[in-house]
Structure 1
Amino acid sequence: MTDQPKIPAQAQDKMPADEHKMTPRPDYAPRHPGVGKLKGKVALVTGGDSGIGRAVSVLFAREGAKVAIAYLDEDTDAQETAKLVEDEGSEALLIPGDLGGKAHCEEVAATVVGHFGQLDIVVNNAAQQWIDEDFANFPEEKLRRIIASNIYGPMFMTQAALPHLGDGASIINTTSVNAYKGNDSLITYSTTRGATLAFTRSMAQTLAERGIRVNAVAPGPIWTPFIPGSMPPEKVEDFGQKQLMGRAGQPWEVATAYLFLASSDGNYYTGQCLHPNGGAIVGA
């Protein structure tokens, strides 16, 4: 069982929250040398500024991909991730803006292709969550915002990317363990992640004849900016200890699932979901 620093009580009044304000900092760093699994590829990672998206961006760069990072407005985190990508000997492109709007998603896809000349991998990872134990009084504005981020965003981004994707391309959507088991304090978030799962399976059927694979990753409790950004301090303290493995996961431990699905290692996977969740037993 991997040791990790204790997580103290903390909170940020912001969603998405900032990784550079977290204690301890999430662990994004790849553990193994790259072998060129994504050499010559261009990947777009939404929400790539921090958390799982940062870990995916850095790992993809280590494996040879050039990485476009779409994010809302977390400039400090995004600039740090871009430097980490460049430190791996790759190239990063930062594209800020609200992915909940179709026009911006179309602009993102056009910018990526205009800059790199191609697009091979789309990781729809950007999302938001809030605690909503009192669902009857959950604000309409927050409900509309989470639907725009977590449902419209991946759908609009996929629409925008499809004209640029060819045979062998890969789309990977971030869902959640909560899409499978539900969560009485994350009702809206869990519902949107269920939509992501259905979207993944449906698009896999639609795009198989074009040679485009569509899969998902359903993380469990991972130490990312989601946690201090959405949970009260007392719930953040020692986050993840109730898992079978007795701890929260780190972003680098999730990023390897995305690499598997993005590379030729995952060539016979489409419409599937991988489960880095620390031991929770859920349906496939």
Structure 2
Amino acid sequence: MRALLLFHQLPRSPHLRPPASRGAATRALASFAARPLGGRARARPSPARAMASQQQFPPQQQGSQPGKEHAMDPRPEAIIQNYKSAEKLKGKVALVTGGDSGIGRAVCLCFALEGATVAFTYIKGQEDRDAEETLQALRDIRSRTGAREPMAVPADLGYEENCRRVVEEVAGAYGGRIDVLVNNSAEQYERPSITDVTEADLDRVFRTNIFSYFLVTKHAVRHMAEGASIINTSSVNAYKGNKTLLDYTATKGAIVAFTRALALQLAEKGIRVNGVVPGPVWTPLIPASFGKEKVGQFGSEVPMKRAGQPAEVAPSYVFLASEQDSSYMSGQFLHTLVVAVSSRSSAVI
């Protein structure tokens, strides 16, 4: 798997500036698959020990959003060691929003390993280095699968014109179609009280977390045919609540309702709409959102006593994107964490 993640000297995306240090970025990306869950240098623990062990991250804080994956310690794990692909998405075209890092990056790489041609979005000037790492890894995978050249498209998806432009650019590059859409962009901010949330705060978080889902999908469905799949990223907070992430939690609840309603609307067209509900996952959103002390204890409150890794969540997206695995599943959410709240779905199609 190490070899899988080495950079290739292929043509660069016109959207991206070169990273500050190609060598450093190469070494960091190549080390993803070798890193243990929640660890930095020791041998990989058995799954049972990993689930039972107490996990702590080094205290760290980035202080601004979007977060930077290349600045995290330890780096998130993007691919499960010895991932077994089965060409479940061979010939498919996938668009992943917020695919430069975190869960989005892991989904991009899993989709590529399954044979898909992958395009993803990122924020220009802020996520360039993470996007470049992901793009180069996709190119490396593509050289083995025969998929088409991947794309990294810069865009703030909180505004309709940007959403339309991204969809048209991606569809135009790949024969006018999009087979899988993953809406994944997100931002969050800790605010102790509802009185701390300004109208501008509310507008920003809702634009990123739910407006973008609605608007990207609005334009993407015009390029989607029977058998296509839409997958939306929600959060465990939509089900259990989070008193210091009030606006973020509200958007994640909106994503659940949006997904179930859209599944009903698109069922007659043969387009499935589902979602994934991650629990606490080690992504750039964490050090960018929380203080050092909270980051150091992140994930310790859940039954497994540790945060998840993006690599542990991404296969759920593969399942939902694959017609052979989930062809009779729509309006549903896969919960990737055991929590003490009801996750029973009320929408069965």
Q: Same fold (TM over 0.5)?
A: yes
Partners of 1:244 and 1:279 within 8 A in 2: yes
Segments of structure 1 that go 5 or more residues without pairing to the other structure are: none
Aligned residue in 2 for 1:9: 59
Counterpart code for 1:225? P
Counterpart code for 1:88? I
Partners of 1:254 and 1:276 within 8 A in 2: yes
Partners of 1:52 and 1:254 within 8 A in 2: yes
Q: CA, structure 1 residues 226+278, in 2 after alignment: closer, same or farther (shift >3 Å)?
A: farther
Aligned residue in 2 for 1:124: 183
Counterpart code for 1:57? C
Aligned equivalent of 1:99, options 140, 157, 162: 157
Superposed, 1:1-284 pairs within 5 Å as 1=48, 3=50, 6-31=56-81, 32-73=83-124, 74-89=127-142, 90=147, 91-117=149-175, 118-264=177-323, 265-284=325-344
Partners of 2:239 and 2:341 within 8 A in 1: no
> How far apart are the structure 2 equivalents of 1:47 and 1:155?
15
Segments of structure 2 that go 5 or more residues without pairing to the other structure are: 1-47, 345-349
> How far apart are the structure 1 equivalents of 2:133 and 2:340?
32
Partners of 1:43 and 1:65 within 8 A in 2: yes
Report percent identity of matched pairs. 49
Q: Mean alpha-carbon deviation: is it higher for 64-73 or for 221-230?
A: 64-73
Q: Mean alpha-carbon deviation: is it higher for 198-207 or for 112-121?
A: 112-121
> How far apart are the structure 1 equivalents of 2:313 and 2:49?
14
Give the alignment's Cα RMSD to 1 decimal.
1.3
> How far apart are the structure 2 equivalents of 1:142 and 1:14?
14
Point out the structure with max Rg over C-alpha: 2
What is the deviation of 1:238?
2.7
Partners of 1:175 and 1:196 within 8 A in 2: yes
What is the deviation of 1:29?
1.0
> How far apart are the structure 2 equivalents of 1:37 and 1:260?
9
- What TM-score results when the alignment is normalised by the length of structure 2? 0.79
Q: Mean alpha-carbon deviation: is it higher for 87-96 or for 115-124?
A: 87-96
What is the deviation of 1:144?
1.0
> How far apart are the structure 2 equivalents of 1:198 and 1:40?
31
Partners of 1:46 and 1:125 within 8 A in 2: yes
Count of matched residue pairs: 284
Counterpart code for 2:130? D
> How far apart are the structure 2 equivalents of 1:2 and 1:211?
43
What is the deviation of 1:55?
0.2
Counterpart code for 1:159? K
What is the deviation of 1:278?
4.5
Counterpart code for 2:136? K
